[in-house]
Amino acid sequence: MKIIDSTLREGIQVSGIWLSLDQKLKILQNLKRTGVTEIEVGIASAQCEDVSELLCATRDNEQGMVKQYSVWSRCVPADIQYAALLGADVVSLSIPVSKQHLVDRLGKSKKWALETVRESVGRAIDLGLRVSIGFEDATRGDQQFLLDISEVAKCAGVFRIRIADTIGCCSSLEVSELMRKLVKTGHPVEYGFHGHNDFGMATGNSIAALEAGATWADVTILGMGERSGCARLEEVAAFLHIRHKRDFDLKEIKALSELVSKMCNRPVPKDQPIVGSDIFHCETGLHVHGLQVNPKLYEPFDPEVVGAKRRFLFGRKSGRAAVRGLLENYQGGSPKQQEVSDYLRQVKAYAEQINRPFTAEEFFATL
C-alpha cells in the first residue's frame, strides 16, 4: 500500500490558488519526509516551466523516503517527447474511457482510444520512460471496455494502471468490487486509485481500493483539487500508518498541512480529522470521564502520534464523573458527593458566565 502525492499537479489546480516556485520547492522538500513513495511534480508541458526546476531539485537533494518522481502527460506525441526530456522517473499518461469524455467531449471512438494507448505507451517506452497510465472517468465507463483497454496497456508495457473516480460518484463498495475485478485479471501490473471528494468519500474510497488489492492511492495535502478536492494525504496516511502499520511520519504531515494551509490561505477546520487543532479537546462529561479512566476508550490513537496534546475542558456539558475526576486530579483524595455537586454547579455557572468551556487550571485560578 503506497501513496502518490499529487499536490503539485492536481492540488494546485484548485480555483484561486497560485504558488511560486519557491513555495512549490518548500512543499516538495517537506513531502520527502512524510513517507510518500511517489511525488507527482506537475504536467509534462513546456508551458509548465516550474516542472523542470522541481525535478532538478529532486536530483540535487536527498530524496528522503520518496522512491520516484513522476510527471502527468496527455497521450500526445509532443507531450511524451517533452516528458522524456524532463527526465522524470515515471510518466503518467492519461486518457478518458467513459462515453461522456471520450465521445461527448473529445468526439473520439473506443477504437481510437485503444490505438492511442498502444501507440503512446510504446512511444514512451521507446524513449526510455517508465510508464503508468491513468484512465480518466473510469468508474463511469463501460466495465468491459475498461478491461479491454487495460489489457492493451498491459501488453504495451505499463507497470501501473490508475483508475480515476473523476467526479467522485462511486461508493466504497463499488470501488472495492471494481478493483477486485481488475486485480483478478492476473496480469503482473500494479493498480492505483485516484479518488475525488464530491460526496465526501475520497478517503474511504481510496482505502477501499487499497484493501481490495490496489498498490497505489493518489492524495493531495488537505485534499486540495478540483471542485471538492481529492483524497487527503493526512487521512489516508494516518489510516495506513495506524491500521495497516505502514511507515508514515504523521507529525511531518501535520506540519506540512499547516504550512500549505498558510501558503494557500485555506484555514484548517478545528475538527478536521488528523490535523485539526481541537480534535483531542473534550468537554462532554461522559467522554471526559472515560478519557480519565483510559484514553483508548474514546481516542483511535494517541495525540502524540500527530504531535497534538489531549486537553480536558469543562463547561455546561460536564457531568459528575468528570468533575469528580477533576477534583481527584487537582486536590487529591476522594471528594464527597456534596462537594462534587457543589463544584459541578460552579463549573456550569462559570461556563455560562464566560460563554465557553475552560480548562481545569483556568477554573481553579478563579476560586
- At residue 60 the predicted structure's pLDDT band, cuts being 50, 70 and 90, is low
CA–CA distance, 332 with 322 (Å, rounded to integer): 14
The dihedral sign for the CA sequence 199, 200, 205, 208: negative
Q: Do the domain assignments include residue 188? A: yes
Same domain as 298, residue 192: no
Instruction: Please write the tens of the pLDDT for every residue from 214-260.
Output: 999 999 999 999 999 999 999 999 999 999 999 999 999 999 999 99
Same domain as 13, residue 158: yes
Q: Tell me what pLDDT residue 62 has.
A: 60
Give the 3-state secondary structure of residue 314.
Answer: strand
Same domain as 75, residue 25: yes
229, 264, 299: which is the final residue of a domain?
264
Q: Is 313 exposed, middle or buried (0-12, 13-18, 19+ CB in 10 A)?
A: buried
- At residue 64 the predicted structure's pLDDT band, cuts being 50, 70 and 90, is low
How are beta strands 160-165 and 130-136 bridged, if at all? parallel
Task: State mean pLDDT over 81-91.
Answer: 95
Q: Tell me what pLDDT residue 293 has.
A: 86
Same domain as 248, residue 285: no
Same domain as 340, residue 245: no
Q: Indicate the pTM of the whole model.
A: 0.92
Instruction: Please write the tens of the pLDDT for every residue from 307-352.
Output: 999 998 888 988 888 888 888 877 778 888 999 999 999 999 998 9
Q: Do the domain assignments include residue 135? A: yes
Q: Which domain holds residue 355?
A: 281-365
CB proximity list for 291: less than 8 A, separation 6 or greater: 282, 297, 298, 299, 310, 312
Q: How many domains does the chain have?
A: 2
Same domain as 177, residue 319: no
Q: Do the domain assignments include residue 321? A: yes
Same domain as 148, residue 243: yes
How is residue 103 annotated by DSSP? I
- In total, the chain counts a number of residues equal to 367
Same domain as 185, residue 67: yes
Same domain as 59, residue 173: yes
Q: Do the domain assignments include residue 270? A: no
Q: Do the domain assignments include residue 273? A: no
Q: Do the domain assignments include residue 274? A: no
Instruction: Please write the tens of the pLDDT for every residue from 36-52.
Output: 999 999 999 988 889 99
Grid cell in block for residue 324: 469528580
Grid cell in block for residue 237: 496516511
Q: Tell me what pLDDT residue 286 has.
A: 85
Q: Do the domain assignments include residue 126? A: yes
Q: Do the domain assignments include residue 213? A: yes
Q: Tell me what pLDDT residue 292 has.
A: 84
238, 264, 290: which is the final residue of a domain?
264
The full DSSP string for 15-59 is TT----HHHHHHHHHHHTTTT-SEEEEEESSTT-THHHHHHHHHH
Same domain as 329, residue 213: no
Check: CB of residue 211 under 8 Å from CB of residue 172: no
Instruction: Please write the tens of the pLDDT for every residue from 157-214.
Output: 999 999 999 999 999 999 999 999 999 987 789 999 999 999 999 999 999 999 999 9
Grid cell in block for residue 31: 513531502
Instruction: Please write the tens of the pLDDT for every residue from 249-262.
Output: 999 999 999 999 99
237, 264, 291: which is the final residue of a domain?
264
Same domain as 204, residue 165: yes
Same domain as 205, residue 104: yes
CB proximity list for 312: less than 8 A, separation 6 or greater: 282, 288, 291, 292, 322, 326, 359, 360
Instruction: Please write the tens of the pLDDT for every residue from 261-296.
Output: 999 999 999 999 999 999 999 988 888 888 888 999
CATH number at residue 144: 3.20.20.70
Helices first, then strands: H and E counts in the chain: 14, 10
